[in-house]
Structure 1
Amino acid sequence: MAPDIRHTLDELSALVDIPKRTIRFYVENGVVDRPRGVKKGAYYTQKHVEQLLSIKKWQQAGLSLERIKSILDDQVGESPLPPPLKRQPGDVDVWSHIYVQDGVELLIEPKRSGLSPDQVNRIFQALQTMLFSDTLTSEEQQ
């Protein structure tokens, strides 16, 4: 899509599959840039489309609107993961603690890692397979 293409609010809403009312809310709260032009001449650009698609992506990843706004404000380039939050005194972190075998444990902070439960499970399975196959190999050598 060329950057000089202009969209009405109706077109933008249909393009990103977000209700007009929600787009207006985002604009009003400074999460999305204001449209260019005024009143009936107002229009949206490719930048608005990208902002709204980023918001959708981060919401589906479970981020709050406040956090999304800070990401969009700080975002210089396209990043697959949000930058980690700066830790503050009194912050509480919730970690997944996975026991693999005696002496081997896996600690994952779900929000910062950006990993889905399925990805965590695959990591666990791969680690277990690797450790199990190494155990068999060393036992076979004895």
Structure 2
Amino acid sequence: MGEKQYTIDDLCELTGYSRRTIRYYIQEGLVDPPAGRGRGGFYFDSHLKRLVEIKSLQDKGLRLSAIFEFLKKGNEPKLLTERELWIRYRLDQGIELHISRDLEEKERKKIIEIIRIARTMLESGGEKDE
């Protein structure tokens, strides 16, 4: 007995994706093209499994670009729930510096000094007082 075959409408019903979305994923290489051509094209369990996998990764907070990296290149995705925390320093209007909170204290002190110098230079029009 052969593998179960699905139409694109079957996949839409089973995954909740639109026909357009499924075709887009095929075009982008996230999902293999259907067997057969044109309206007679059909899909297998492997297509359904891939679409369910994409849906699961999206539900976990991954963006499509991260899903692509993971599925096509094998790079481990970084979940949005594992965000890095950053400290934002405003240097001047329209100028900010973002520093990772994971930075060691010694390095953070150097950055604070750099921020102080940058603010002084910005306030004086770019010339550093010695």
TM-score by length of 2: 0.55
Q: Give the structure 2 partner of residue 22 of structure 1.
A: 21
Q: Map of 1:3-14 to 2, 5 A cutoff?
A: 4-14=3-13
Residue deviations 1:53-88 (CA, integer Å, cap 9, x gap): 11111111111112112212245xxxxxx8256xxx
Q: Give the structure 2 partner of residue 60 of structure 1.
A: 59
Query: Partner amino acid for 2:84?
Result: V
- In the alignment, is residue 95 of structure 1 matched against residue 85 of structure 2? yes
Structure 2 unaligned residues grouped into runs of 5+: 87-100, 103-130
Output the aligned Cα RMSD: 2.8
Is the contact between residue 6 and residue 45 of structure 1 (CA under 8 Å) also seen in structure 2? yes
How many Å separate the matches in 1 of 2:52 and 2:2? 15
How many Å separate the matches in 2 of 1:84 and 1:73? 11
How many Å separate the matches in 2 of 1:16 and 1:55? 10
Which has the greater radius of gyration?
2
Pair 1:67–1:50, CA change in 2 (3 A): same
Shift of 1:44: 0.7
Q: Give the structure 2 partner of residue 38 of structure 1.
A: 37
Pair 1:33–1:45, CA change in 2 (3 A): same
Equivalenced residue count is: 84
Is the contact between residue 36 and residue 44 of structure 1 (CA under 8 Å) also seen in structure 2? yes
Is the contact between residue 67 and residue 77 of structure 2 (CA under 8 Å) also seen in structure 1? no
Q: Structure 2 residue aligned with 1:83, among 47, 59, 76?
A: 76
Pair 1:38–1:84, CA change in 2 (3 A): closer
Is the contact between residue 27 and residue 34 of structure 1 (CA under 8 Å) also seen in structure 2? yes
How many Å separate the matches in 2 of 1:83 and 1:3? 34
Pair 1:84–1:3, CA change in 2 (3 A): farther
Q: Give the structure 1 partner of residue 107 of structure 2.
A: none
Is the contact between residue 7 and residue 43 of structure 1 (CA under 8 Å) also seen in structure 2? yes
TM-score by length of 1: 0.51
Q: State the 4+ residue runs in structure 1 displaced beyond 6 angstroms.
A: none
